[in-house]
Amino acid sequence: MVDSPKRLVSRITRDTLALVLAGGRGSRLRQLTDWRAKPAVPFGGKFRIIDFPLSNCVNSGIRRMGVLTQYKAHSLIKHVQLGWGGNHVARGEFVELLPAQQRMNDQSWYSGTADAVYQNIDILRAHESEYTLILAGDHVYKMDYGPMIAYHVEKGADLTIGCIEVPVEQARAFGVMGIDREGRIESFVEKPDDPPRMPSSPDTSLASMGIYVFRTDFLFEQLILDADDPDSEHDFGKNVIPRLIEEHQVYAYPFREPGLTDQPYWRDVGTIDAYWSANLELIGVQPDLNLYDTDWPIWTYQEQLPPAKFVFDEDGRRGMAIDSMVSGGCIISGAVVRHSLLFSNVMVREQAYVEDAVILPNVQVGEGAEVRRAVIDKGCLIPPGMQIGVDLEADRERFEVSPEGVVLVTPQMLGQKLHMVR
């Protein structure tokens, strides 16, 4: 009996091992990643960036996952242990942490994305998966990986690359694929000055999402070949993929939401401006990323906290938040919060004013302080009366100011003690 499409997807997702590459620093986020890896950066009021690819796996029916960590991974490891450690091992479900640990020769650090997978090849062999799904751990999006893996099987592909359509002028920031009319990849170039165009849309390019599907035995063969190449940087985008395109069946999978013609939501929140903008987009009446979607929940670890509270109701002393998202444990005390996103345990004291701000957990905004167009890192204590985002020239002398005028403030910039767990 031939499998139905739904049953086929269910079977192949059960036979898939997902690997989330979560070792990168994300230096373009500046001081936000001084003490944490980019996938551990808080996002959306209660989540961390890595929760999105992990939730996509669970919602897609992929219940075997490995998280490859490296750079300043303490908070990332702790978050994964707390939020994702409750899988049913007896049913073959797990989230396994795979830090750099000198498993191959004397090499300690992962030297590239391909090397990160290669250094764990003995562990991966033991899982005996038919397919391997490799994901970047630092993008924000919702995606069902099942249809992509089914596409990979249907095409008889050796490698399938998830991709997203972007205007040609934006494609210079990505790895870009040139494809034929059957979807087979003919070229792959990193951050090109003249990006390849799509055959059906000359104003559009296909950018890599950092999502790869391999037949597992084929992946192992290629990792060993790459590891033996002294001239390789051991990176999927720079070395492995360009070589495979010349000799093997490599296809592009354009990411589309079923039944929709618009490009689905996908964000690389890799700069302060992009991070600030993506967080504030969530406040919209109908945001492109719907965190209230019960059909595709985003899972995470969260503390047990009391509800947000707004206190005092007097003229000139009214605690309120307008056009904002406010998380558990927050207290708005005789202050005004407007068009902002507050993570958990934020205290905004009397006569303070917050607008267009992204405020991470455990921040206190002092009495009479003013915060505009800013990202305030976890644990900051904003002194009473301090102005942030009002005079950018003054802000540049003490804080980080992005190209688009977003002010980043960290505890160190304020001369305050840095908490161990970030």
| AA identity, residue 297 | P
Continuous segment of H or E residues that includes residue 13: helix 5-14
397 - beta bridge partners?
A: none
Both tokens assigned to 118: 């290669």
Q: Which long-range contacts (CB under 8 A, 24 or more apart) does 99-103 make?
A: 99/68, 99/69, 99/70, 99/73, 100/23, 100/69, 100/70
- Tokens 């944490």 correspond to 36
- Tell me if 415 is assigned to a ligand binding site: no
CB 68 within 8 A of CB 21: yes
208 annotated as belonging to a binding site for a ligand: yes
Parallel/antiparallel/unpaired status of strands 331-333 and 309-311: parallel
Tell whether residue 110 is among the known ligand binding residues. Answer: yes
389 is in an annotated binding site: no
In this structure, which amino acid lies at residue 25? Answer: R
| 112-149 b/e (C-beta count within 10 Å ≥ 16 → b) | bbbbbbbbbbeebeeeebebbbbbbbbbbbbbbbbbbb
**Could you give the CA distance from residue 262 to residue 264 in angstroms, rounded to a whole number?**
6
**Of all helices (H) and strands (E), which one includes residue 57?**
helix 51-59
Determine if residue 6 is labeled as part of a ligand binding site.
Answer: no
Q: Among residues 361, 297, 377, 272, which one has the least CA distance to residue 79? A: 361
Annotated binding-site residue numbers for alpha-D-glucose 1-phosphate: 110, 175, 190-191, 208
Annotated binding-site residue numbers: 110, 175, 190-191, 208
